[in-house]
């Protein structure tokens, strides 16, 4: 009995040992499989993280590229607009929006739609299409070139258009053409002026002789001829001076003597227009370094300009005064005045408010003042008159520091 019990226990122990060995083997296999699984998970996690980093980098680079392209589009000096196949706007940079005043296809003017259609059809020629539009209340000239867009499969996806506002360029081209025409006309005018000047001198001389010899109406008519020729001679002189400025030949010039000559020269026309001339010459030392003939022309232009502002009756006052080391010349009229908005432009060549004027008189005045290192300023009040003030450096006097 005891032996049987011992054998049974021995068999149970063997079974238990066998079961333990199986369990240990299974446990080791499971542990190995789990370790392999952990390794695979780590590998997959690392690969996933690497892919995520790569994707993030790609997205970041794509976003940076988009931002870079967007900034380029925003800063381009020309407009860029893209249409899809249905005519809808898929891209419109700020310059295109400003030029066209449109952000959507619906806000485009009908004529600009046709403009872009023509631009796209001209893609093969490589030429720009130009057209004039009224945009935002202003006439603008736009130039555009278009090209077709397609995807990787070669299917058309829309059209891209580059827009340039060439309004200012066209205006500049027109101004250049005008300047060229004016230059050619100026050269011709100078030639004509030279041809006219000599006969004018003869006409004025004979008219002066007739004034001395005739009386009554005949004398008045001769006086009108003399006045007309003097005015015409002034216009010719202005044209020649402006077109071909002469160098000032400086010497000592007494400005009071020049004023006296001008007063005598313009007396007939002033008398005819019933314009009174008053002089108030208080400068103690009126001698300046200047060109006598140019100063006469300058003063004559100012006097004629004043008389034109006084069609009938009026007063013209010429003053001189000492201002420290400077000499000031003032010519004041009681004419119609100059509008405030024109005061900054009156010395510009060809600018005039007089339909019969050339716009050269005051420009020549300014030119002559600059040749004498002087300054000129003007004040005016509508229906009250205008005052020109010119300041010259004075020629040093003996005994005066």
Residue 196 has pLDDT above 90, yes or no: no
Distance CA 64, CA 61 (A): 5
The tens digit of pLDDT for each residue in 122-180 reads 554 557 777 777 776 677 888 888 788 888 888 888 888 888 888 888 888 888 887 78
DSSP letter string over 293-334?
HHHHHHHHHHHHHHHHT-SSSEEEEEEEEEETTEEEEEEEE-
When pLDDT is averaged across residues 276-288 and rounded to a whole number, the result is: 94
How confident is the model at residue 109, as a pLDDT? 54
Contact criterion met (CB below 8 Å) for 299 and 308 = no
Domains and CATH numbers, the chain: 74-165 (3.30.450.20), 171-244 (1.10.287), 249-401 (3.30.565.10)
What Rg do the C-alpha atoms of the chain give, in angstroms?
47
Full-model pTM:
0.51
Closest to 354 measured CA to CA, from 302, 315, 305: 305
Three-class secondary structure of residue 139 per DSSP:
strand
When pLDDT is averaged across residues 86-107 and rounded to a whole number, the result is: 72
Tokens matching residue 295:
């100063």
Tokens matching residue 60:
């970041």
Among the residue ranges 17-21, 41-45, 294-298, 327-331, the one predicted with the least confidence is 17-21
Among the residue ranges 90-104, 243-257, 283-297, the one predicted with the least confidence is 90-104
Distance between the two ends of the chain, CA-based, in angstroms? Answer: 159
Contact criterion met (CB below 8 Å) for 330 and 388 = yes
> Quick one: residue 319, left, alpha or beta (phi over 0 = left, psi -120 to 50 = alpha)?
beta
Per the prediction, the chain carries an average pLDDT of: 81
Closest to 349 measured CA to CA, from 168, 211, 183: 183
Angle at 374 between CA 370 and CA 377, to 5 degrees: 95
Distance CA 87, CA 106 (A): 10
């Amino acid at each position: 009995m005891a032996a049987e019990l011992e054998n049974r226990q021995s068999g149970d122990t063997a079974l238990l040992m066998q079961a333990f060995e199986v369990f240990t083997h299974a446990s080791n296999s499971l542990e190995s499989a789990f370790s392999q699984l952990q390794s695979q998970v780590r590998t997959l996690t690392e690969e996933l993280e690497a892919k995520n980093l790569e994707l993030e980098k790609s997205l970041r680079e794509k976003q940076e590229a988009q931002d870079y392209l967007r900034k380029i589009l925003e800063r381009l000096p020309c407009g860029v607009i893209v249409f899809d196949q249905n005519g809808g706007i898929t891209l419109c940079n700020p310059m295109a929006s400003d030029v066209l005043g449109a952000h959507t296809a619906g806000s485009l003017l009908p004529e600009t739609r046709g403009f872009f259609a023509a631009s796209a059809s001209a893609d093969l020629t490589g030429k720009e299409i130009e057209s004039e539009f009224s945009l935002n209340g202003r006439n603008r000239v736009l130039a555009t070139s278009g090209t077709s867009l397609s995807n990787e499969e070669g299917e058309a996806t829309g059209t891209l258009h580059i827009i340039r506002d060439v309004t200012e360029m066209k205006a500049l081209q027109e101004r250049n053409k005008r300047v060229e025409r004016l230059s050619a006309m100026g050269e011709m005018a100078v030639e004509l002026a030279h041809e006219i000047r000599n006969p004018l001198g003869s006409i004025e001389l004979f008219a002066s002789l007739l004034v001395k010899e005739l009386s009554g109406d005949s004398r008045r008519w001769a006086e009108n001829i003399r006045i007309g020729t003097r005015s015409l001679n002034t216009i010719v002189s202005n044209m020649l001076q402006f077109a071909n400025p002469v160098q000032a030949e400086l010497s000592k010039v007494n400005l009071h003597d020049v004023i006296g000559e001008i007063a005598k020269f313009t007396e007939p026309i002033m008398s005819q227009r019933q314009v009174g001339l008053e002089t108030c010459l208080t400068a103690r030392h009126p001698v300046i370094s200047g060109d006598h003939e140019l100063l006469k022309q300058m003063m004559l232009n100012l006097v004629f300009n004043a008389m034109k502002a006084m069609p009938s009756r009026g007063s013209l006052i010429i003053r001189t005064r000492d201002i420290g080391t400077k000499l000031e010349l003032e010519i004041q009229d009681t004419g119609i005045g100059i509008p405030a908005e024109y005061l900054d432009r009156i010395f510009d060549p060809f600018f005039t408010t007089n339909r019969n004027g050339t716009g050269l008189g005051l420009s020549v005045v300014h030119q002559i003042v600059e040749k004498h290192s002087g300054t000129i300023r003007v004040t005016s009040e509508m229906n009250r008159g205008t005052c020109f003030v010119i300041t010259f450096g004075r020629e040093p006097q003996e005994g005066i520091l």
